[in-house]
Amino acid sequence: MEEQLSERGKRILEAVIEDYIATAEPVGSRTLTKSHALALSPATVRNVMSDLEEMGFLTSPHTSAGRIPTDKAYRLYVNSILEVRNLTRDNREEIKRRCQLAGRDISEVLKETSRLLSSTSSYMGVVMAPRFAANVFRQLEFVKLSSHRVLAILISQNGAVQNRLIETEVEISQDDLVRMGNYLNEQLKGLTIAQVRERLLSEMKSEKVRYDAMLSQAIVLSEATLKSDDAQIFVEGQANILDQPEFHDAAKMREIFRAFESKGLILDLLDRAMQAEGVQIFIGAESHLVKMEGMSLITSTYMTGKDTVGVLGVIGPTRMGYGRVIPIVDYTAKLISRLLETE
């Protein structure tokens, strides 16, 4: 049963996949011979397709419909058949243009990137921001807003900013706040945010702190600032997938939207994608997430310097234009990496 795939078999499988990608309809032997110049009769094609079905590359939704590619077929396709097109100059220009980070806040840029991915691919764009905790600490700032309210602002070396409003037990003067800030900035210079946190937690237990009320204040404040660092994910262009014919019916649509409403699902996926460097492709059930059947995900990691810090990508139907989307994702990731470089 597991005989090798012939050259002709490959050609035909490719044709089927491409037709199916284009039309979303099961493709039959006759249509295939017409659209692709195969110099073969429908009957022959039928035989080959029958073989392909046996090998698990095609299925038919029912007898007497055409056939559609299985996940396994897509896998083969992206691995060894597909040749990735280059981006057009225009495409590249547009991506570059829209990824300017000057003059904007960094998460704005990532959001825009997500939007960009969505609109150039016409599927859904996804960007996971660098985990704040992995960034290098740059500066911590306390600003007194009112008697018992302090705004803590935490700045990382790459320009990400987080802030928290803290209700303090006792009133602290702005001067004291500044002093705390200076002290901590001095202490924490060069650590990653995660390390900063560890350091603070251990200090909290130390003897010294017991006797220095202000220091302990500072530590409580900054600890409050640091806790709960949820990954930021930007998902854009959900409406795009509504245009895909496979989701035309209302029930399916609802399901999809429900699934993506909480970002947990996407987070899981992206976390997985972050394990390995570079472009990765998850096809349908491969992701082992039930909700993802019928959908594929193309991701690429991006980095600052040598460290992988985030992932971005495109989610679309399994039946998606891999050849077109892969280079988009790839190029965008590279661009973002370049932008984030701290010179």
Partner DNA sequence: ATTAGCACTCAAAAACCCAGAGTGCTAACC
Partner DNA sequence: GGTTAGCACTCTGGGTTTTTGAGTGCTAAT
Stretch near a second copy under the rule CB under 8 A, chosen from 17-25, 232-240, 274-282, 327-335: 232-240
Residue 224 binding: pick among a second copy, DNA, none (C-beta 5-8 Å cut-off by kind): a second copy
What are the phi and psi torsion angles at 152 (to 5°)?
Answer: -105, 130
Q: How far is the CB of 162 from a second copy (least distance, A)?
A: 7
Task: Count how many Cα atoms sit within 13 Å of the Cα of residue 104 in the half-sphere of its side chain.
Answer: 13
Q: Tell me the Ramachandran region of residue 169: left when phi exceeds 0, alpha when psi lies from -120 to 50, beta otherwise.
A: alpha
Residue 50 binding: pick among a second copy, DNA, none (C-beta 5-8 Å cut-off by kind): DNA
Q: What residues between 47 and 86 interact with DNA by CB under 7 A?
A: 47, 49-50, 53, 60-67
Residue 261 binding: pick among a second copy, DNA, none (C-beta 5-8 Å cut-off by kind): a second copy
Q: How far is CA 37 from CA 41, 50, 51, 203, 314, in A?
A: 11, 20, 20, 73, 32
Residue 342 binding: pick among a second copy, DNA, none (C-beta 5-8 Å cut-off by kind): a second copy
Identify which of residues 234 and 282 has a Cβ nearer to a second copy in the complex. Answer: 234
Using rule CB under 8 A, residue 323 touches a second copy? no
Q: Which amino acid, 146?
A: S
Are residues 140 and 185 in contact, defined by beta-carbon separation less than 8 angstroms? yes
Place of tokens 């060894």: 80
Question: Do the strands 124-128 and 58-59 form a parallel or antiparallel pair, or are they unpaired?
Answer: unpaired
Residue 60 binding: pick among a second copy, DNA, none (C-beta 5-8 Å cut-off by kind): DNA
Identify which of residues 155 and 279 has a Cβ nearer to a second copy in the complex. Answer: 155
d(CA 343, CA 338): 9
Tokens, residue 292: 């993802």
Query: Taking Cα atoms as reference points, which of 62, 84, 80, 85 lies closest to residue 9?
Result: 80
Question: Do the strands 149-156 and 161-167 form a parallel or antiparallel pair, or are they unpaired?
Answer: antiparallel
Identify which of residues 50 and 147 has a Cβ nearer to DNA in the complex. Answer: 50
Stretch near a second copy under the rule CB under 8 A, chosen from 103-111, 125-133, 194-202, 301-309: 103-111
Among 59, 60, 139, 216, binds a second copy (CB under 8 A): 139
Residue 163 binding: pick among a second copy, DNA, none (C-beta 5-8 Å cut-off by kind): a second copy
Using rule CB under 8 A, residue 338 touches a second copy? no
The DSSP 8-state label assigned to residue 36 in this structure reads T
Q: Which residues lie near DNA (CB under 7 A)?
A: 26-31, 39-44, 46-47, 49-50, 53, 60-67
